Amino acid sequence: MNPVMKFLHKTGSPAYFYWLSGRIIPWLWVVFAVLTTWGLYQAFFVAPSDYQQGESYRIIYIHVPAAWLSMMIYLMMAIFGAIGLIWRIRIAEILAISSAPIGAAFALIALITGAVWGKPTWGTYWVWDARLTSQLVLFFLYLGVMGLHSAIDEPRKAARAAAMLALVGVVNLPIIHYSVEWWNTLHQGTTIKIIGESKMPSSMLFPLLLMAVATKFYFGAALLSRARNRLLDQDRRRGWVAKSIREQRL
Amino acid sequence: MTPTRKKRLTVVLLILLGVSVAAAIAMTALQENLLYFLSPSEVAEQQMPTGRQFRLGGLVKEGSVNRATDSLKIRFRVTDGLKEVEIHYDDILPDLFREGQGIIAIGSLDNNRVFQADEVLAKHDEEYMAPEVADALQKAGHPRASKDSTSVAPSEYKP
Amino acid sequence: MNAFFSLLKRDLLLAVRSRAEALQPLFFLLVVVTLFPLGLGPGPALLAKIAVGVIWIAALLASTLSLDKLFRADFEDGSLEQFLTSGHSLSLLALAKIIAHWLSTGLPIVLFSPLLAIWLNLPHEALPVLVKSLLLGTPIFSLIGAIGAALTVGLRQGGQLLALLIFPLLIPVLILATGAVSAATDNLESSAYLLWMAAYAVLMLTLAPFACAASLRISLS
């Protein structure tokens, strides 16, 4: 057996996964808390205000990391799904389906903060801007995965079907993204770029990067916690749970 | 080769074939000139017939905007640096419309080769900078900072 | 390959024998399109402006409506299980069902689209592009829709769930197609849009049968 498969199978054993994730989760929360505190401080007290938008631009420190994360989570979900489908590793299936609600939540956060930001800058809560539209479609894709999962009663089958849908979605995601961008250019006329590429000074960028990293740790912690709960729920009558309780490892 | 292996190989080859055909068509599509709009030069080149609807894109020429005092009527010229087209429009303009701004107009040419627009769309600004920097740039005569745009697309930015 | 053609023939025969049912998507399309002038007023300028969007959205709804039934009958009478255990390539059988679906619902939509275009006052220059875009786009509906149908087969709330699953995936088709037709309306070159649609159709033709077969295996497990 090659080392990769060995690793997958070892971490794929429910008892080991449960034990390992329990050890990791607290550390993820600590890093998340530290980075978020630092990032928010930088974002609201250190970064300068914008020359056009004043203070309202600061919402990007929530909006943008949430949008990035929601896209990354979809990719992660598809990767976990593929591992689960190909090698039939149950932990991977559980990780895939546990990613969906977190991704949907971040997509929703990005949409709401986008709308809140749209009010002072565009004068309206919603504009069919390319990125907002892509984000909305991504949110719907998450809803589809979650909807399919909840419609099937048998947990294993539900997880596999959802993983399959996530895989189909990830193939189409770039196509959807570019077509929406295109559609937008067609309707809003954002293409005329005779001058200029956009820029951001480092004092504004640094807190953004901090927040982007912080949200990834949140995802890690939330994902592992959700996966543990799902695993425990599915396996409540299995031997390893009883054994772990006896050995006081739960 | 065992039958299973043979079958797998066929599947892989079929997928490769399909994906490469798709890629080849996509490459052709990339080479096609995808136009969202015609520039003033292209309008002049193509001898666009009067009365046919098309999209015209370009920058609003500095000092060419001429508004009527008693109505919404407006006349201005768009340029791409080489040629210009006169545009007449009689409706509410987008907030971002100003001289030097990129716009797209939908409409058709009339008999005097004037573009009668039914719709005018403006482009968003994508810049972020601290006010001091903007001031400094403006003092230095940097063209980008001279725009007094107040609207910026929220989700439009690339760090 | 024999199994492929017999299944294709069987599905087409079924469609021909139960004409009323097979023509339902087409009637649905005609009724939906009729509602728009009634709801928005018969002004020719307004109709011309919304024509492409209306035709395409109606085509999307009509296709989805019939996709729900794609595997249902075969699932209920056990034929699907037989396909699975027959030893024939499930992807090939799925492709046969997809092609039969397109021939019985997609193609009639394409053939009737000129009528819809006239009803909605679409400029004449745009008509060939509309037909071409439907010819390229409706197979993509059948291909992607079949994956969704395979995943939801045997579920109680199949229809609505299927719409939720596949509508987001079909957005590119809608955008490219309406882009092509409105470019033609505005006297711009539309071939780039059509080529992109063709590339997308070929890609889906390559991948969808496999995804569909894998989905059927999951659903029947």
| A164 near C CB under 8 A | yes
Helices (H), C68-106: 72-76, 79-85, 90-101
Check residue A103 and give its pLDDT. 96
Cβ distance of A137 and C171 shorter than 8 Å: yes
Asked whether C65 and C23 are in contact (CB, 8 A), the reply is no
Residue B8 to residue A239: CA distance in whole angstroms: 39
Is residue B65 pLDDT above 90, yes or no?
A: no
Taking the CA of residue B8 and the nearest CA in chain A, the distance in Å comes to: 15
Residue C88 to residue C82: CA distance in whole angstroms: 10
CA B15 to chain centre: 37
DSSP assignment string, A168-232: HHHHHHHHHHHHHHHHHHHHH-----SS------HHHHHHHHHHHHHHHHHHHHHHHHHHHHHHH
- List of chain B residues whose C-beta atoms are within 8 Å of the C-beta of residue C191: 32
Tokens 């009639």 correspond to what residue? C108
Burial of B76 per CB tally in 10 Å (0-12, 13-18, 19+): buried
User: Which of B102, B131, B158 lies closest to A192 in CB terms?
Assistant: B102
Check residue A51 and give its pLDDT. 65
User: Which of A85, A137, A165 lies closest to C165 in CB terms?
Assistant: A165
One-letter amino acid at A120 equals P
Is residue B141 pLDDT above 60, yes or no?
A: no
Taking the CA of residue C123 and the nearest CA in chain B, the distance in Å comes to: 11
Tokens at A147, concatenated: 């909807």
Indicate the pLDDT class of residue B156, thresholds 50, 70 and 90: very low
Summarize pLDDT for C138-190 with one digit per residue, the tens. 999 999 999 999 999 988 877 889 999 999 999 999 999 998 998 888 777 88
Summarize pLDDT for C8-52 with one digit per residue, the tens. 899 888 888 888 888 888 999 999 999 999 998 888 888 888 899
SS3 B71: coil
> pTM for this one?
0.81
Name the residue among C69, C199, C208 with its Cα closest to residue C144.
C208
Distances from the Cα of C135 to the Cα of B88, B107, C109, angstroms: 39, 29, 9
Cβ distance of B95 and A114 shorter than 8 Å: no
Asked whether A107 and A138 are in contact (CB, 8 A), the reply is yes
Q: Which positions ≥6 away from A229 have C-beta within 8 Å?
A: none
Asked whether A67 and A124 are in contact (CB, 8 A), the reply is no
Which domains, and CATH codes, for chain B?
Answer: 40-122 (2.40.50.140)
| B142 near A CB under 8 A | no
Residue B126 to residue A205: CA distance in whole angstroms: 15
- Where residue A178 falls (left for φ over 0; alpha for ψ -120 to 50; beta otherwise) is alpha
Check residue B145 and give its pLDDT. 39
Indicate the pLDDT class of residue A220, thresholds 50, 70 and 90: very high
- ipTM at complex level: 0.89
Residue B60 to residue A189: CA distance in whole angstroms: 14
Taking the CA of residue B106 and the nearest CA in chain A, the distance in Å comes to: 11
Asked whether B129 and A199 are in contact (CB, 8 A), the reply is yes
| B125 backbone dihedrals φ, ψ, rounded to 5° | -95, 145
SS3 B127: coil
